[in-house]
Amino acid sequence: MAKFDSTVNVYRDKVWRTCLSHDLVPGDIISISDLSSNIIPCDAILLEGSCITNESMLTGESVPVTKTPATPETLERIDLTSPSFPLEISTHFLFSGTSIIRAKKTELGFGGKSWIISDSNYERASDPKNIITPIFPTRATALVARTGFNTSKGVLVRSILFPKNTSFKLYDDAFKFIGILAIIALCGFITSAINFFKLGLSLHVIIVRALDLITVVVPPALPASMSIGTSFSLSRLKEKLIYCISPTRINVCGRINLMAFDKTGTLTEEGLDVLGIQSYNFKSKHLHIMTQDINEIIDSSDDNYSLENLNIVHALASCHSIKSVFGNLIGDPLDIKMFQSTGWTLEELEYDNDSNNCLIETPSGALSSKAKKIKKMLPTIVRPPIIMEDHKSINNASKANSDENFKSCKELGIVKTFDFSPSLRRMCVITRHPMQKGAQLYVKGAPETIRNLCLPETIPNNFSEILLQYTYDGFRVIALAGKISKLSWAKLQKLNRNEIETDLVFLGFIVFENKLKPTTEHVIHQLSTAKIPSIMCTGDNIFTAVSVARQSGIISESTEIYLPVLVQLGEDSLAEVYSTNSVLKKVVMWQNMDNPLKILDPYTFTPLICKNVGFSALDLNPDQSIINIDNHNSLAIDVMVDNKLFKQKNYALAISGSVFRHLMDNESQNTANKALMLGLVFARMSPDEKGELMEFYREMGYCVGFCGDGANDCSALKAADVGLSLSEAESSVAAPFTSKSNHIGCVLDVIKEGRAALVTSFSCFKFMALYSMIQFTTVSLLYTFGGGLGDFQFLYIDLFIIFPLSITMARTLPYGKLFIKPPTATLLSKKVLTSLFFQILLFFFLQKILYNLVKNQSFYTEPIHENPNEIGEIIIVSYENTHRNTVPEI
């Protein structure tokens, strides 16, 4: 993964030359349209041309990303010391390690005409009245910005090579326990040395045999015995296609007491299916009944379905960032599903560098030179399906691309695309018919965002009612809007998105459904049975997230959910009443999702009932909107405590990203802690906020696990105690665990194996500690008269008694179900120390009793050296040696 080298064409000293990628330095200009490999060798800024890249290696996101040439403003804003960039900069930035799906030379970028004047192909129309055709550089070029470990890939590799240090109490206690054993060994060493000196043993024997006690009390096999269980657990997980890059995290898995899940691609299926389309009836000012048949939408639109008027079908067919690569649609799966639902086709202009011609892939037929020239101004064209009538399909199809059909066909050319912005939660396009003036501007995005951009008179009367019902049912809803522009082609090119996204006409909804994966409910139920709470952390709508959480079992049927509303208070503020920060004068109010008259105290979170409230959490955008209220008394009227719910404690919170940010930045730590501890659903969360949430739970003492599909979850996967990625993308290797399965059943396997490894580690450690202390008492008693164990006896005990038992314990399989009570996590607990201490005492007194019994036997003789040459050495052959070596074995 880390080592990579390829040949690239680099522009140095005004000459294009070939060099190896490891010789690149910042400031070089390279060609990306003719790389020997499709892997980008460095971080670079795109100067000329355009390309589509697959960044799953870095982000885990499988959706291809379109890159466009940088502008002077981009270079002014870029910070090369930052490992990541905002979206408006990253769209011009090529990241090392990502792969190029397609590179095109058809975009003039940062350098302008002066840059490509000596290295370009361009043509002008012979007639001055005609529009100048685009200028096409012969290469797609990029400026090298970072190389080696300074690149985005280098940061990822460093995070793998040098992972974040994690402390686990088991290992901390193990070192403390070894320290105690070392003190015991030191005491035994001093006592034995003094005793040997009194017995007249040689200095060599005194030193060697006294030092033997240290290896007896602190056996070298002790660390290995703790890792045996981990090794077997790793091998069993590998058989289940679960891979681990941090073996020490196996034991941590056994202590997980909180599990967090991403939604899309983790709890639910990866793709979205179009449930239906609901267009706007301009006459009744209501939304039509939802339909899946695009022809019904066309029929119901009547006169609105024309090139001069806005139409929801046009919006569905054109408002996307889809590209066509070798006949395959590349882009966001949601965009592809939306486009495919229309039945339209997409064609893109391809520039042939050898013949200096523009090639346009069309289903059949040929276009005139004038039509081709016009289409060269529209690199992407979408066209409706050809409707065959009276069984004339063959004849009509052969004429589909004739000039007459070209003039009358309702195809649309996409003039300019403004990609989806997570911060704006929308995207927009400029479209026009190749043979007509003016343009149609279409916008799609989150319904609450689109509504604010539309003319109020175009908003349906049942907008809120319909949208609320869809989100309650867990569906994903996208709103579409548009407007007509009479500007020329040149002026259209200069439009910015702020000019487009104003005074829009609402067109309708497209509704997607996202089904739960088959194993989701079972896994959540198993975790719940084992008293391991689950939470959801997603970037989706808060209502959709709550709906999926209920379906999956994260929220039980009886649990009442409270939604947040961020209230901006006036002078007579609630903040003053509660003696909080009166400068901010903002407070988060919590309202019951099913009963608006049920609220929570904003600071104690006590459930309350009131007769009337002055706010609504069921607004379309409760996760971002701020309600302005001058008088705090109007927030809630006739408030009283809901004693029944207060006693049951059967309520939870759904927290949006904006409210999460407010709680962390502006509220007191006590209030924030209470809110987050009650949270079960976290919606509209950014990747960084997911990681911050995991850090919070760790600080609160939880051993938290996070399971995600790798798409924008890398921060949370790294921040959690145990990160489990369901993605096979290279970015997911930064997580401790990676599963090749696409469902969360692997969570149960990881926890089971973690508990098995943890119990095995405890058992092996206790066994080795007990064995060392028993052997210590045995050797110490033999040392009292100058005796000891022979080398073969030590070898026999280690190889034929201790080692087989350790292996046998380590190979114990995990229990089939998760037990409610997890294994202990500390070696210095009362339970562990008590059992170990009494076992040691039992063996000590047993050996002492047997020692006295042997000495009282009639056959007993005092141990002596049979060979006079061995005087000064320890005595190996004796009755004491025999019984003290036999008893521990038994």
Q: Which of 648-657, 697-706, 846-855 is the least confident region?
A: 846-855
Residue 1's pLDDT band, with cuts at 50, 70 and 90, is: low
When the candidates are 1.10.3720.10, 3.40.50.720, 2.70.150.10, 3.40.50.970, the CATH number that belongs to 7-161 is: 2.70.150.10
Residue type, 517: K
Q: Is 102 helix (H, G, I), strand (E, B) or coil?
A: strand
Pair 638, 624: CB distance under 8 Å: no
pLDDT at 130: 41
Q: How far from chain centre, in Å, is Cα 580?
A: 35
Per-residue pLDDT of 667-688, as tens digits, reads 889 999 999 999 999 988 877 7
Helix axes 542-552, 520-529, angle to 10 degrees: 70
Angle at 321 between CA 487 and CA 415, to 5 degrees: 20
pLDDT higher than 70, residue 745: yes
Q: CB 557: neighbour CB atoms within 10 A?
A: 6
Please determine, for residue 747, whether its predicted confidence score (pLDDT) is greater than 70: yes
Q: Is the pLDDT of residue 598 over 50?
A: yes
pLDDT, tens digit, for every residue of 199-242? 888 888 888 888 888 888 887 777 777 778 888 999 999 999 99
> How high is the pLDDT of residue 758?
87
Does the structure show a pLDDT above 80 at 371? no
More confident residue, 252 or 437: 252
When the pLDDT of each residue in the chain is averaged and rounded to a whole number, the result is 78
Window from 407-416, 588-597, 625-634 with minimum mean pLDDT: 625-634
Which residues is 608 bridged to in the sheet?
599, 641
- Please give the Cα distance from 855 to 865 (Å, whole number): 18
For residue 626, pLDDT beyond 80? no
pLDDT for the residue 634 = 60
Per-residue confidence at 258, pLDDT binned at 50, 70, 90? very high
CB 786 within 8 A of CB 199: yes
Asked whether the whole model's pTM tops 0.85, one would answer: no
Mean predicted confidence (pLDDT) in 763-780: 85
Contact between 620 and 464 under an 8 Å Cβ cutoff? The reply is yes
Cβ atoms of 96 and 40 within 8 Å: the answer is: yes
Supply the pLDDT for residue 129. 43
Neighbours of 664 (CB within 10 A): 16
pLDDT-derived band at 118, boundaries 50, 70, 90: very low
Could you tell me which residues come within 8 angstroms of residue 479 by beta carbon, excluding any fewer than 6 positions away? Answer: 444, 445, 446, 447, 449, 450, 451, 506, 508, 509
Q: What is the pLDDT of residue 707?
A: 93
What are the structural domain ranges in the chain?
7-161, 192-231+758-889, 273-388+405-513, 557-651+665-674
Which pLDDT belongs to residue 527? 95
Q: Does residue 42 surpass a pLDDT of 70?
A: yes
Output the pLDDT for position 679: 95
Residue 560 near residue 594 (C-beta atoms within 8 A): yes
The full DSSP string for 637-701 is ES-EE-HHHHHHT-EEEEEEHHHHHHHHHTS-HHHHHHHHHHEEEEES--HHHHHHHHHHHHHTT
Is it the case that residue 116 has pLDDT exceeding 80? Answer: no
pLDDT of residue 868 exceeding 60: no
Check residue 556 and give its pLDDT.
Answer: 92
Q: Which residue, among 823, 677, 828, 829, has the nearest Cα to 751 in the 3D structure?
A: 823
Which of 500-504, 578-582, 762-766, 848-852 is predicted most confidently? 500-504
Catalytic residues: 262
Pairwise pLDDT comparison (132 vs 160), residue with the higher score: 160
Tens digits of per-residue pLDDT, 599-618?
898 889 999 988 877 777 76
What is residue 118's DSSP assignment? T
pLDDT band at 395 (very low <50, low <70, confident <90, very high): very low
Q: Residue 310 — pLDDT band, cuts 50, 70, 90?
A: confident
Percent with pLDDT over 90 in the chain:
15
Please name every residue paired with 628 in a beta bridge, in sequence order, or none if there are none: 568
What number of H helices and E strands is found in the chain?
32, 39
Answer yes or no: are the C-beta atoms of 188 and 217 closer than 8 Å: yes
pLDDT at residue 620 is higher than 50:
no
Written as one letter, the residue type at 40 is I
The pLDDT assigned to 802 comes to 83
State the average pLDDT over residues 362-388: 59
State how far the Cα of 471 lies from the Cα of 514, in Å rounded to an integer: 12
Q: What is the C-alpha to C-alpha distance for residues 321 and 417, in angstroms, rounded to an integer? A: 7
Which of 155 and 651 is assigned the larger pLDDT?
Answer: 651
| Residue 13 DSSP code | T
Q: What share of the chain is helix, strand, coil (3-state, %, to 5)?
A: 40, 25, 35
- The three-class DSSP label of residue 81 is coil
User: Cα–Cα distance between 94 and 96 in angstroms, integer?
Assistant: 7
Nearest in space to 439 (alpha carbons), one of 533, 347, 309, 560 = 309
Give the pLDDT confidence score for residue 629 in this predicted structure: 63
pLDDT the model gives residue 227:
78
Residues 6+ apart with CB under 8 A from 193: 206, 207, 210
Q: Taking the mean position of all CA atoms in its chain, how far away is CA 152?
A: 17
Residue 562 has a pLDDT of: 93
Residue 474 has pLDDT above 70, yes or no: yes
Is 810's pLDDT higher than 70? yes
The band of 724, judged by pLDDT with boundaries at 50, 70 and 90, is: very high
More reliable by pLDDT, 621 or 35 = 35
Cβ neighbours of residue 811 closer than 8 Å, sequence gap 6 or more? 232
Q: What pLDDT is stored for residue 882 in this prediction?
A: 78
Distances (CA, A) of 200 to 96, 197, 209, 788: 73, 5, 14, 15
Q: What pLDDT shows up at residue 79?
A: 81
443 pLDDT above the threshold of 90: yes
Q: What is the pLDDT of residues 688-702, one digit of tens each?
A: 788 899 999 999 989
| Average pLDDT of the residues in 312-316 | 89
Residue 404, pLDDT > 70, answer no
Helices 830-855, 879-889: crossing angle, 10 deg rounding: 150
Q: What is the rounded distance in angstroms from the CA atom of residue 445 to the CA atom of residue 419?
A: 11
Give me the pLDDT at residue 753, please: 93
d(CA 508, CA 510): 7
The set of residues, in sequence order, having a beta carbon less than 8 Å from that of 20 and lying 6+ positions away, is 5, 6, 7, 8
Q: Is 328 exposed, middle or buried, given 0-12, 13-18 or 19+ CB atoms closer than 10 A?
A: exposed
Please name which of 650, 623, 424 lies closest in space to residue 543, comparing C-alpha atoms.
623
Question: What is the C-alpha separation between 113 and 689, in angstroms, rounded?
Answer: 43
Parallel, antiparallel, or unpaired for β 15-20 and 50-54? unpaired
pLDDT at 472: 76
pLDDT of residue 859: 85
Q: Which of 184, 98, 186 is closest to 142 using CA atoms? A: 98
Query: How many Å is the maximal CA-CA distance in the chain?
Result: 129
Q: How many CB atoms lie within 10 A of CB 799?
A: 10
